[in-house]
Chains A and B, each alone.
Chain A
């Protein structure tokens, strides 16, 4: 079946069975590979994207239900034009293998959009669905707090 999705501000057409999750439509159908597959059962957060500003696990959203404005890591910022959150990620040298980081960053983006000055508790609550096997959590926390400061200062 053919679906038209709104991704990073652009309508994109994908032709796949309607029960295929958004994750695989992005990765296999559209070649948007920044969004990662980790578990397929909503247990790791690697596949996190924003739909209308809400962080969702794209492995759990069937194509037929993917309505709204979808933002993936590719839409947040690019290598030459980093979003403030990504700048903080680079400043704090967060990534190790980096595989979980797209999901971590999208989850953090949703957090900061809702809670511009998060406490440690807010960060714990928002981020605990995002697994990092490399154990980058201390630097993720530091980067989120730093980004919040930078965004506040404008």
Chain B
């Protein structure tokens, strides 16, 4: 298997320009080059973290992990754009854990201002890049930040490499570099050289200044490129983490305490050890692992281990948890990130419309179950393969668990079979390393059963919201939203970095406080509930919660105002954020909104501005004899600069399917402190026959030039409210609780 490690052993590396500093847009001065994590080899000079050139072609080391969102293709296109190589010369690999691969995009996500306001401010890459405190060790994939973070970094890497190659050719020919040009992986002058020929010499010739190309000349960026992983993924030859094969490998699985966080009081492995093929049962303190000749035998045997579980420190069942969440309304708000006008005075005028909404915990349920492979070597070092969204944290967690230095951990990040936020925690990698330590010098692949994957997830929080509003003369005058939920951010950060940074918990209210609705009186509060159920980031995080609350409630207000729900939203948005208003107009036109209303059909609209990208969606539903069917859906989005329209379309559609799946039928519930749902039959997603037909339009008006909104997540939040609103339109019943199959009968 090709990896950054084997490649660097036989390659010359070319230095991409450093990326810090710089002033004017388009020209960047080389400042400091971060330490290069790629390992030196006998015949290669390791200099550059991003571009490797050898006889096989150009390999781009992508700092972000590929989970299906197409980020590796987009990052490679950015390099290729500046480097002047043909698309079929480009390959991409994920880099090792290293400071150089920190995610600049996350810094843009650390504000408590509504995104739609930030995007209107003049753009300064300098401010974003120079402000990055590297102590964050943020080699994270998430927050829909991959393209934003790479936009400058990766082009600079390509441009720096190009200029270095030109300089090498210029030295050979004794001419000035600017008399040469580059094309298709060659430097062309009086003589033509391939990049591979020049690579070794170019490594010494770091340019001082690099000018980035004018966007009007782009060939790859902004175009729909064939994904670099498409052939492998269509032939079964992509190597996911679960596909790692090593010599003499053994196969393991885990069974951890279903009462999360509780201890294991005792276990008896006898029955498991009696099963043919079982080699070892390993106690892990809060669970057990079985090592066997194959994964299936390990999974069977794990069930035969007789275990006594200790208790968790959270309530026994979902009802008691919701009571705990409800109690948070009586506490001081943790945040009030929006407070415009005088909501209380306006609501005191009377005729207040009120509603309460409830949504469940959710699992990520990626198609590839959690897994990791570890190999503890004779010298005590360890090599681990694990699809993960946070390599530096994962590496350090493995080191901590084995009590060895981080430099003795080699972590590979293979392609992930879905992530959706569920591969941020280092748990599978740590468990694999611990299990492998019980069988030194033998590679062990640890695979979770689907049941274990679902029961040991870090869930999207359950939440309750109470909203009040007022309409007058057909218009909304006031809205006060209050969301109560346990904090996913605090739960996750406490696990990951040992503490939760102070300050308001944005995720509890995002999607609610930050929307471009120009209501004269607009307040949004977050109440953080005291509940220790393990939580995590689920595609679009808090937006998946608050978009359902806010967009359902706006619909209720529109209905009370006897207004068309789409026109009602447009009215509220027109003067606040023109690109968002344009999206509502676009879905109105695409869907033929005015003509959609007819007997037997319902239509619903919803909107959410998240991760820098506003998205409007319309869903059409039909009452059929077999139940309610989603027939068609329309999506209009505006990420600003659309780096790859085909990938944007795929992510928008996929994100909406993900949101609709949860809205229709997904929930995680607890009984006796354990998750009830075990496998797809009780936590299913939409199937092909139940999925509507889609039409997507990608607009590029949002923000000033260089604004790149995320695309992996923003398709998800509007899905649930658009569907709920359509169901109201069809049936006259307002569902204020998810999943919707509690209220409606869908086609199965």
Are B232 and A79 neighbours in the complex by a CB distance under 8 Å?
yes
**With A and B bound together, what is the CA distance between A96 and B294 in angstroms?**
28
- Whether a CB of chain A sits under 8 angstroms from the CB of B656 is yes
Minimum CB–CB distance for B127 against chain A, Å: 33
**With A and B bound together, what is the CA distance between A128 and B415 in angstroms?**
26
Given A31-B245, A90-B231, A99-B368, A24 and B294 contact (CB-CB distance below 8 Å): yes
Given A24-B295, A77-B235, A38 and B369 contact (CB-CB distance below 8 Å): yes
Identify which of A27, A129, A137 contacts B295 (C-beta below 8 A).
A27
Minimum CB–CB distance for A79 against chain B, Å: 5
Minimum CB–CB distance for B628 against chain A, Å: 16
> Please, which residues of chain A bring their CB within 8 A of the CB of B294?
16, 20, 24-25, 28-29
Are A136 and B231 neighbours in the complex by a CB distance under 8 Å?
no
Minimum CB–CB distance for B649 against chain A, Å: 9
Are B236 and A137 neighbours in the complex by a CB distance under 8 Å?
no
List the B residue with the shortest CB-CB distance to A21. B296
Minimum CB–CB distance for A69 against chain B, Å: 18
Contacts of B225-264 to chain A: CB distance below 8 A: 226-227, 229-240, 242-243, 245, 251
Are A34 and B687 neighbours in the complex by a CB distance under 8 Å?
no
> Please, which residues of chain A bring their CB within 8 A of the CB of B68?
95-99, 134
Are A125 and B650 neighbours in the complex by a CB distance under 8 Å?
no
- Whether a CB of chain A sits under 8 angstroms from the CB of B384 is no
> Chain A 40-58, CB within 8 Å of chain B: the 1/0 string?
1101101000000000000
> Chain B 663-704, CB within 8 Å of chain A: the 1/0 string?
000000000000000011100111111110110000000000
> Please, which residues of chain B bring their CB within 8 A of the CB of A38?
367-369, 450, 680
Interface residues in A, total, Cβ within 8 A: 63
Identify which of B227, B367, B684, B689 contacts A132 (C-beta below 8 A).
B367
List the A residue with the shortest CB-CB distance to B449. A40
Are B687 and A28 neighbours in the complex by a CB distance under 8 Å?
no
> Please, which residues of chain B bring their CB within 8 A of the CB of A90?
226, 230-231, 234
> Please, which residues of chain B bring their CB within 8 A of the CB of A70?
none
**With A and B bound together, what is the CA distance between A12 and B277 in angstroms?**
20
**With A and B bound together, what is the CA distance between A6 and B423 in angstroms?**
37
Residue among A93, A102, A124, A141 having the largest count of chain B Cβ atoms under 10 Å: A93
> Please, which residues of chain A bring their CB within 8 A of the CB of B231?
79, 82, 90
> Please, which residues of chain B bring their CB within 8 A of the CB of A29?
294
Identify which of A28, A40, A72 contacts B236 (C-beta below 8 A).
A72
- Whether a CB of chain A sits under 8 angstroms from the CB of B70 is yes
| Interface SS majority for chain A | loop
Identify which of A36, A46, A141 contacts B688 (C-beta below 8 A).
A141
Are A34 and B233 neighbours in the complex by a CB distance under 8 Å?
no
- Whether a CB of chain A sits under 8 angstroms from the CB of B543 is no
Are B240 and A135 neighbours in the complex by a CB distance under 8 Å?
no
> Please, which residues of chain B bring their CB within 8 A of the CB of A73?
235-236
Are A97 and B226 neighbours in the complex by a CB distance under 8 Å?
no
**With A and B bound together, what is the CA distance between A34 and B235 in angstroms?**
7
Are A37 and B447 neighbours in the complex by a CB distance under 8 Å?
yes
List the B residue with the shortest CB-CB distance to A35. B236
- Whether a CB of chain A sits under 8 angstroms from the CB of B299 is yes
- Whether a CB of chain B sits under 8 angstroms from the CB of A112 is no
The total number of A-B Cβ pairs within 8 Å is 204
**With A and B bound together, what is the CA distance between A133 and B369 in angstroms?**
12
> Please, which residues of chain A bring their CB within 8 A of the CB of B177?
none
> Please, which residues of chain A bring their CB within 8 A of the CB of B686?
135, 137
- Whether a CB of chain A sits under 8 angstroms from the CB of B77 is no
Are A40 and B299 neighbours in the complex by a CB distance under 8 Å?
yes
> Please, which residues of chain B bring their CB within 8 A of the CB of A136?
650, 654
Identify which of B67, B297, B416 contacts A20 (C-beta below 8 A).
B297
- Whether a CB of chain B sits under 8 angstroms from the CB of A148 is no
- Whether a CB of chain B sits under 8 angstroms from the CB of A68 is no
Minimum CB–CB distance for B668 against chain A, Å: 15
- Whether a CB of chain A sits under 8 angstroms from the CB of B418 is yes
Are A124 and B688 neighbours in the complex by a CB distance under 8 Å?
yes
- Whether a CB of chain A sits under 8 angstroms from the CB of B102 is no
Are A101 and B450 neighbours in the complex by a CB distance under 8 Å?
no
> Please, which residues of chain B bring their CB within 8 A of the CB of A99?
68, 240, 366-368, 417-418
Identify which of B229, B239, B243, B690 contacts A95 (C-beta below 8 A).
B229
> Please, which residues of chain A bring their CB within 8 A of the CB of B661?
135
Are B688 and A130 neighbours in the complex by a CB distance under 8 Å?
yes
**With A and B bound together, what is the CA distance between A41 and B367 in angstroms?**
14
Given A36-B242, A133-B418, A43 and B657 contact (CB-CB distance below 8 Å): no
Identify which of B230, B235, B368, B688 contacts A123 (C-beta below 8 A).
B688
- Whether a CB of chain A sits under 8 angstroms from the CB of B653 is yes
- Whether a CB of chain A sits under 8 angstroms from the CB of B648 is no
**With A and B bound together, what is the CA distance between A35 and B242 in angstroms?**
11
**With A and B bound together, what is the CA distance between A24 and B235 in angstroms?**
19
Are A128 and B689 neighbours in the complex by a CB distance under 8 Å?
yes
Pick 30 A–B contacts, CB within 8 A, sort by A.
A17-B277, A20-B296, A20-B297, A24-B294, A28-B293, A31-B245, A33-B236, A33-B245, A34-B235, A37-B447, A73-B235, A90-B234, A93-B650, A94-B230, A95-B229, A96-B650, A99-B240, A99-B367, A99-B417, A100-B417, A127-B687, A128-B689, A131-B687, A133-B366, A133-B420, A135-B654, A135-B656, A138-B653, A138-B691, A141-B688
Known: A73-B235, A133-B658, A137-B686. 12 other contacts (CB 8 A): A38-B369, A38-B680, A78-B237, A86-B234, A93-B227, A97-B367, A98-B68, A98-B233, A125-B689, A128-B688, A131-B685, A133-B685
B residues apposed to A, CB below 8 Å: 67-70, 224, 226-227, 229-240, 242-243, 245, 251, 276-277, 293-297, 299, 365-369, 415-420, 447, 449-450, 646, 650-651, 653-658, 661, 679-681, 684-691, 693-694
A residues apposed to B, CB below 8 Å: 16-17, 20-21, 23-25, 27-29, 31, 33-41, 43-44, 46, 72-74, 76-79, 82, 86, 89-90, 93-102, 105, 123-125, 127-141
Q: Which 9 pairs show the lowest CB-CB distances between chains A and B?
A: A34-B236, A135-B657, A97-B68, A99-B417, A98-B233, A73-B236, A96-B68, A124-B689, A135-B654
